[in-house]
Structure formats: C-alpha cells, structure tokens
C-alpha cells in the first residue's frame, strides 16, 4: 500500500490528481465510490476540479435498504454535490428494494460494464468500508448487510435502517485500483489495524492489503497511531 499523509487540503489535492491520471489513461473509466465515511472534502474537491467525467461511469458503492434508500437521507444524496457539477456518462446505484437473492445482480452489472477501474472508499472507525461491517466475509459480492451503528443523518440507532445493500470485499478487490481515505482522530485506531494488522474479518478494510494497487490518503490526525 502507498500511504499519503498531509493536511486535508494537500491530501485531497493529491487524490484529485490520482483521479485525473485514471481519467487521462481511460476517460470511460468505471468508478465506484462509497460516500459512507468518505470525508465530504473529497467529493467537494472532485466537484470543484477541472476533471471531466462525461465519458466515465459512476457506481454508488452502497445504499440503505427499503424506504430509507429512497428518502432524503439516502446515501445517494451525498453524490449530488458531484453529479450536479460533473455529468457522468451513466450513474448506477444498488437497488434498495433488492432481496438477498438478487443483491449480487449489481456485481453482474459492474462486470457487464467491463469491471471497476477505480474504487474510492472512506474508512469507518470500526475498520469498515462501505457497509462491510466487522465480520464481513472476504469472498462476498454485493450483499445485504446488517448495519452496526447509527447513521448521523438518522440521529439514533433506533431510527437508522437496520440493513444496507453494499458491494462486498470481493467486489472491491476486483477493481484495478483502490483508494482509501481517512480523516480525523476517530479513525486512527482503524487506520492502524488496517495498515499494520493482518487481514481479518474483524477489520474488513485490512483485506485491502491483499490488493496490488492501493493508495491510502490520511490527514495527520488519522495517521497518529502509525
């Protein structure tokens, strides 16, 4: 893993340059992004950049199941800051009404598009990525996951949807390139476990160590325990 540590401003600048390089080599790139735990500075920087995504396809990495996945607090609403500023050739999202049997249809759609060229993930404080919570299986594709914590938008665990549909670790590791982002002291323990511990289900992000092309972007606070 390549690790980039700096101020939020410098880190987002470096990340934007990476995305620019991906698009320069393949303007029609398939890019999966998880807005869950992804610092808002990242989507904001991409939206304000001079990057052109008009030939690229965006795959939303996860969404709440049921009505929550279609309401004002849906994960997909976080992408509006980017999609309003930068049109994509196509935008895809997991079906919030999909059942366990049909969840993996999303992986089939990704493969039909040619596979993922880039995945951009935020790191959660439990070591999770997207909705792959501790205990997530290494071989899982898109699946229905039980949510382990309250989402800030919903206020409390009781109000948070119980399930989400998410691309799995297998799906993520199938991408050509992976970017992981963590800002803030709350992520420091998870960063340490992800980068220095052995790959294990207790820290789903640690499985990224098994990929050959991963870049990790951290501010100083998130890197404090390295």
Instruction: Evaluate if residue 120 carries a pLDDT over 80.
Output: yes
Look at residue 59 in the predicted model and tell me its pLDDT: 98
pLDDT tens digits for range 173-201: 999 999 999 999 999 999 999 999 999 99
Calculate the CA 69 to chain-centre distance: 16
| Average pLDDT, integer, range 7-31 | 98
**Segment 169-176 mean pLDDT:** 98
Crossing angle (nearest 10°) for helices 40-48 and 8-25 = 50
Residue 98 has a pLDDT of 96
CA distance 116 to 68: 26
Q: Per-residue pLDDT tens for 34-53?
A: 999 999 999 999 999 999 99
pLDDT grade, residue 130 (50/70/90)?
Answer: very high
Task: Give how far Cα 88 sits from Cα of 50, 64, 68, 178, 226, Å.
Answer: 14, 23, 25, 20, 37
């Amino acid at each position: 893993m390549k690790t980039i540590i700096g101020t939020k401003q410098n880190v987002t600048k470096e990340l934007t340059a990476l995305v620019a390089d991906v698009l320069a080599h393949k303007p029609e790139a398939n890019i999966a992004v998880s807005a869950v735990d992804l610092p808002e500075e990242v989507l904001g920087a991409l939206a304000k950049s001079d990057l052109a995504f008009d030939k690229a396809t965006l795959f939303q990495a996860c969404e709440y199941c049921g009505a929550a996945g279609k309401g004002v607090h849906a994960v997909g609403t976080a992408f509006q800051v980017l999609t309003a500023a930068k049109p994509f050739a196509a935008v895809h999202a997991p079906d919030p009404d999909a059942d366990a049997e049909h969840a993996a249809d999303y992986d089939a759609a990704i493969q039909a598009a040619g596979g993922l060229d880039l995945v951009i993930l935020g790191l959660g404080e439990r070591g999770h990525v997207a909705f792959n919570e501790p205990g997530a299986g290494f071989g899982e594709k898109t699946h229905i996951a039980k949510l382990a914590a309250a989402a800030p938008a919903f206020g409390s665990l009781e109000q948070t949807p119980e399930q989400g549909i998410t691309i799995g670790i297998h799906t993520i590791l199938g991408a050509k390139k992976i970017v992981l982002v963590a800002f803030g002291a709350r992520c420091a323990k998870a960063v340490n476990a992800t980068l220095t511990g052995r790959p294990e289900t207790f820290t789903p992000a640690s499985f990224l160590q098994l990929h050959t092309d991963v870049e990790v972007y951290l501010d100083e606070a998130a890197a404090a325990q390295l």
